[in-house]
Amino acid sequence: MAKATTQKFSELVLEVSDDGGTTWAKLCGLVDVEITRTSNIDTAEVPDCADETLPLSLEKQVRSIEVSVSASGVWAQESHGTMMDWFYSSAAKDARLGNLNAASGETEYETGMALLASLNNARTKGQKVSASIELQFDGTPTRTAKA
């Protein structure tokens, strides 16, 4: 039996850039990251032309795709200014997702402009302040293959 090649925690990264993609930085404190890739699908009901008494056939087609990211962890002073400025600017920012253990020729990075859709903090007595965010890519991210 062949064992699956897996990816370590540190090999799936969420990074942002403040200089148009020249340098990238991880968002400090966010240790749980979930990436959601969604196909938005349209459905058409198609009749049988030879026998219209038959049930309609459902045909589906992808209308669009979207990529979003949810991340949570602890509030980190190192990312506080970046996150607050990003949220209150309502502007898209360069973001990328990295699968650093991708095989050569496979997608290593998904890069594009992203909006900070939500920025949440919570406190519980005796615990560190938590943070959670949701990013939504503006358009389809560009995929870059690993060399």
The mean pLDDT values, 10 residues at a time, for the chain of 147 residues are 93 95 95 97 97 97 98 97 96 97 97 98 98 98 97
pTM score, whole prediction: 0.89
* pLDDT score of 113: 98
* pLDDT score of 77: 97
Asked whether residue 18 is assigned to any structural domain, the reply reads yes
* pLDDT score of 1: 85
Q: Are 101 and 7 in contact (CB under 8 A)?
A: yes
Asked whether residue 88 is assigned to any structural domain, the reply reads yes
What's the domain range around 107?
Answer: 9-39+66-145
Asked whether residue 46 is assigned to any structural domain, the reply reads no
Asked whether residue 54 is assigned to any structural domain, the reply reads no
| C-alpha atoms less than 13 angstroms from C-alpha of 119 in its C-beta half-sphere | 16
